[in-house]
Amino acid sequence: MRPNRQETATPPQGGDTMSDFAYPPAAIVADLLRALPGLGLCAAIGGVALFDGSPFLAAFFGLVSLLFLWLASQACLRARRTWRLTEQGVLVLPRGRLYRWETLGEWRLRYWAGFRQAREGRGTLALSLYFRAPKGRAKVLRFESALVGFRELVQEVAGRADAVEAQADEHTRHNFQAIFETADKQ
């Protein structure tokens, strides 16, 4: 077996588990409340346009409906998924897929906000982990700051990334420092 291959694993037993992370139900419900009305509205407008004899408008709203359906499905998947940090790597449950720490090539911590959010000093942090895979393609795991325990996740990943000498750019180092300086001030 290659050391850099992602593999299916059974959940670790005993003292091997470090911590579990999942999105809170409120974040999932908020995502669904954004996606489902858009899906319903676009599907209704597309249906009316189809029966009204406007196939191009119906096709457009049909495609936009598919986008909202995809967003709703992603929210449902996030509701079912738990990420477990172990000594070996990141275990994605319920599938049981393990991404080994030694295959972590790069990690990024990015801040993004809409115009109004930035003015109000709010925004979202996103942590991306790039795991090397056979055939040169990287597998990316992404986490948003809505995740319960996000700060602890970032701290643990930073320690593991240093241990395996994974790359982090200047933005990542700056955002990492900002998270923990803010925590120290509170």
Give residue 16's pLDDT.
Answer: 53
What pLDDT does residue 2 have? 30
* Three-class DSSP category at 177: helix
pLDDT at residue 12 in the model = 43
Percent of the chain with pLDDT over 90: 20
Domain boundaries defined on the chain: 25-80, 84-185
CA atoms within 13 A of residue 183's CA, in its CB half-sphere? 11
pLDDT at residue number 119: 66
Below-70 pLDDT ranges, the chain: 1-17, 114-122, 182-186
- Span 69-117, pLDDT tens digits: 999 998 898 888 888 888 888 888 888 888 889 999 889 888 877 666 6
Give the long-range contacts of residues 144-148, CB within 8 A, separation 24 or more. 146/23, 146/24, 146/27, 147/21, 147/22, 147/23, 148/21, 148/22, 148/23, 148/24
pTM: 0.70
Task: State yes or no: cis peptide before 55, omega within 30 of 0.
Answer: no
Question: Is 84-185 a domain of CATH 2.30.29?
Answer: yes
Beta bridge partners of 58: none
